[in-house]
A and B are shown apart, each in its own frame.
Chain A
Amino acid sequence: EPEVTQTPSHQVTQMGQEVILRCVPISNHLYFYWYRQILGQKVEFLVSFYNNEISEKSEIFDDQFSVERPDGSNFTLKIRSTKLEDSAMYFCASRTGVMNTEAFFGQGTRLTVV
């Protein structure tokens, strides 16, 4: 069964450093997403990506964040200069684009900023 894969599963980084979280969405899906879950809080939408550009972003997704699909299979989330409050579980998801169908999620990357 096709699945969304994320690497690494856990990343520890120092405050101020850049991190790149990687995702391989399901191959025939058209819409890609990043969500995050700060410990003890709800899962929050960060950004959606379609046709090689951002289609929607939340207010959380400020200039420190960027996404790209560099090679047609990987989908990455970059945090330019990490802050302590960026510590969270980051989930990648993809959808086919058919209305009202589910998103398929990866296993998540736990980012710890120290």
Chain B
Amino acid sequence: AQSVTQLGSHVSVSEGALVLLRCNYSSSVPPYLFWYVQYPNQGLQLLLKYTSAATLVKGINGFEAEFKKSETSFHLTKPSAHMSDAAEYFCAVSDQLSFGNEKLTFGTGTRLTIIP
């Protein structure tokens, strides 16, 4: 079974500083990876996804992630944190159940706090 591990359940960065949220995956087949964000009292929103095209993936709100097969990683970064980035971030890997049907296996999440 495929899985993802998120290192650091809580990350705090200063406004304007680099954001780095870590995700490592375990997969016996080429993985399809996603980052979702959950703002307070809201649902899960897709930030970006890797589906074996470009290894550097750009998402919404200035976030990007790089797929590194040699390191089995898919870390999420943003050059300059903004107060509005405070949220919980989930890394997920897609498991194919049958043709067209896939489920997501999530990491435990990282809560990002931005320090003014």
Binding site for B on A (CB under 8 A): 4, 6, 30-31, 33, 35, 41-45, 48, 50, 55-56, 91, 93, 95, 97-100, 102-108
Instruction: List 10 A-B pairs, minimum CB-CB distance, nearest first.
Output: A107-B43, A105-B44, A43-B106, A97-B100, A100-B51, A56-B97, A45-B103, A105-B43, A42-B108, A100-B32
Q: Give Cα A61–Cα B79 distance, bound, in whole angstroms.
A: 41
B101 and A102 form a contact (CB under 8 A) = no
Q: Give Cα A44–Cα B108 distance, bound, in whole angstroms.
A: 10
Q: How many residues of B contact A (CB 8 A)?
A: 28
Residue of B whose beta carbon sits closest to that of A30: B100
B96 → chain A closest CB, angstroms = 8
On chain A, the residues within 8 Å of B98 by CB distance are 55-56
Q: Give Cα A100–Cα B100 distance, bound, in whole angstroms.
A: 8
Interface: B77 (CB within 8 A):
no
Binding site for A on B (CB under 8 A): 32, 34, 36, 41-46, 49, 51, 90, 92, 94, 96-109
On chain B, the residues within 8 Å of A97 by CB distance are 100-101
B90 and A43 form a contact (CB under 8 A) = yes
Partner of B44, one of A48, A50, A91: A91
List 28 A-B residue pairs with CB atoms under 8 Å apart, sorted by A's residue number: A6-B43, A41-B108, A42-B90, A42-B109, A43-B44, A43-B92, A43-B104, A48-B103, A50-B100, A50-B101, A55-B101, A56-B97, A56-B101, A91-B44, A95-B102, A97-B101, A98-B100, A99-B96, A99-B100, A100-B51, A102-B34, A102-B46, A103-B102, A103-B104, A105-B36, A105-B45, A106-B43, A107-B43
